[in-house]
Structure formats: C-alpha cells, structure tokens
Amino acid sequence: MRILVTGANGMLGRDLVPALAAAGHETAGVTRVAFDVTNRDETLRAIGEAAPDLVVHAAAYTRVDDAEREPEKVFAVNHAGTRNVVDACGARGARLAYVSTDYVFDGTARIPYQEADPTNPISVYGRSKRMGEREVERLGNDGLIVRTSWLYGPHGPNFVEAILRQAREKGRFTVVNDQEGSPTHTEDLAEAIAVLVDLGAGGKVHFSGAGSCTWFEFAREIVAQGGMSGVETLPVTSESLGRPAPRPVYSVLCLDRYVSLTGRRPRGWKEALGRYLERRGRAASKPDDRHKEVGIS
C-alpha cells in the first residue's frame, strides 16, 4: 500500500515510518511543514495530491497539563484537525488509522478497559482525543482507532529518561503511586500498528505493554534495570503534586482483541523496558534537558 504518516517527526512517528516501510509499504512521513491538519484546505489538498491508500494519523497535541490552559488549541489539533484528515480520507477513498489514548477513560474501573466500555474523559486532552475518535468512527470499518498508554521511546521526551536523569542528578526523588497503567514502547506500538494495517483491521483496538504498574513501580524498575545503586525512590500522591490536568487513577487496557486479531501477544512492559535500555546503550548517559518530568519531583 501507499501509506502517509502524519506527525512523522514525533516520538511515535519516527518509529512508525520505518516499521511500515519494513512491512513492505510505500511509506511517506509528513510534518506540519508539509501541511497543517488544522487548515482544512491544506489538509484536503495535501492528502489528495499524495493519493495514499491509507493514512496513519499520529499528529496530535499531547501536552496534557498545557492542554488545560489552552483548550482551543488542543481541540483545533486533536478534534478539528482529525475531522479534516477524516474528510480528506473520505474524499480520497483511503483508510485511516488513528492513534488514541487511555485518557478517554475516567479511571473508575478496576479491571482492564475493553474497547466497547463507556468513555468518560476527565481532562481537556482526553476529551479532545475522544472527539477525534468520533470523527474517525464516521469512516466505519475503513477507520481504525488504536488506543495506547504511557508511551516512551528513543525519539522524544519520555518518563524513562526523566527518571534516569533524576537518579543521576539527585539520587533521591518522589514519584506518584496512585495511578496504574501500562508502559508502552513506541517501537512495539509501531510494529503493532503495522500488523493491524496489514490485516485491514477496523474499529477500536487496544495495545500497550502487557501487565501493569504504577508510575512509582515503573520508576523503581527503571532504576533497577539501569543498574543505578544507592538511589532512593519515594511514593507520593497525585494530589500532592498539584498538576493542572486530572489523570485516570486506573487506565489499564484489555489487549484481548489485539491478540485475537493478530495471534500475537504484546511484550511485557518490563521486557520492553529492558529492550529500550539495551538499545539506548548505557542507562547513565549524558543528561538531555529536552526530557520532561512526568509526575516526579
């Protein structure tokens, strides 16, 4: 297939393009320089001229706390921008794969969320992504919505790097211990999307690292696998950090539909973390000020 990937310079996009190309597809990645999804005319023109068989829409506004302060900008990208991409795909007769989030759920469940479970986002970011999902639903089976959670990868700011930096620089830090989810390596998600695309899957599919943990437990595992001795990690509540955006306290995704469709079981989150650290080279590398802290202090 001829595939167009939006958000190609993002943390996920930079893994998606090679994963789709490796699966044998003619893949082109585009950034905001090529066209701005919030500009309807630009989007219709650019996708029409590219003539893809499928668009993987990974471009998004993902700064969860900033979203609370600038909702107009968030909805312009995640809702209206997605509507523009959906309309362009409809006009072209192209399929669409849309990357969504566990934040469409409110976190009140105590068992992993299935695709058909009711959504009730509690943050501006979550609401904007759910509105984007509703646009994709207009395409019927030509629209694929892949929900994921707690992404980290080698091509952008992420929790793993933030923890490693804190461990090097402070040796003692706190991490929230009242939010439970599933860390997901971007390389694993990109490969999963490539498999789903090949299968012609439609509707909603959940994908994440297998298993679950709190951010505190994730941080402890990062420190342990990073071989960083003498580091003290302390648990705190989300309320004590006073972050602008509320987070689901439980957002573990049920992976059964992905397994049923593909016959593949997602890598466990601890194994995926080990793979990330191994590929990273050395856990204690030079600090990178681009990496944001997520729920740590």
In a domain, 257, yes or no: yes
Q: Name which of 208, 183, 180 is nearest 265 in CA terms.
A: 208
Distances in Å between the Cα of 4 and the Cα atoms of 12, 20, 36, 252 are 14, 10, 14, 30
Number of separate domains in the chain: 1
Residue 98 lies in a domain: yes
The rounded radius of gyration (Å) of the Cα atoms in the chain is 19
Cα four-point dihedral sign 234, 237, 238, 241: negative
The pLDDT, as a whole number, for residue 288 is: 46
Element (H, E) at 213: strand 213-214
Q: What angle do CA 18, 143, 112 make, to 5 degrees?
A: 85
Residues (pLDDT < 50) of the chain are 282-297
Q: What angle do CA 185, 119, 125 make, to 5 degrees?
A: 60
Decide the pairing of beta strands 213-214 and 180-181: antiparallel
Does residue 266 lie in a domain region?
yes
The residue segments making up the domain with residue 40 are 2-157+182-212+251-271
Residue 152 catalytic? Answer: no
State both tokens at 65.
Answer: 């706390």
Do the domain assignments include residue 292? no
> CB-based burial of residue 185 (10 Å sphere; 0-12 exposed, 13-18 middle, 19+ buried)?
buried
Instruction: Kindly report the CATH number assigned to the domain that includes residue 9.
Output: 3.40.50.720
Classify residue 288: in a domain, yes or no: no
Residue 282 in domain: no
pLDDT digits (tens, 9 = 90+) for 68-103: 999 999 999 999 999 999 999 999 999 999 999 999
Q: Which of 125, 152, 250, 258 is catalytic?
A: 125
Chain Cα centroid distance, residue 74: 16
Q: Phi, psi (5° rounding) for residue 26?
A: -80, 105
In-domain check, residue 239: no
Residue at 225 is within a domain: no
Distance from C-alpha of 264 to C-alpha of 262, rounded to nearest angstrom: 5
Which among 111, 53, 100 has a CA at the least distance from the CA of 78?
100
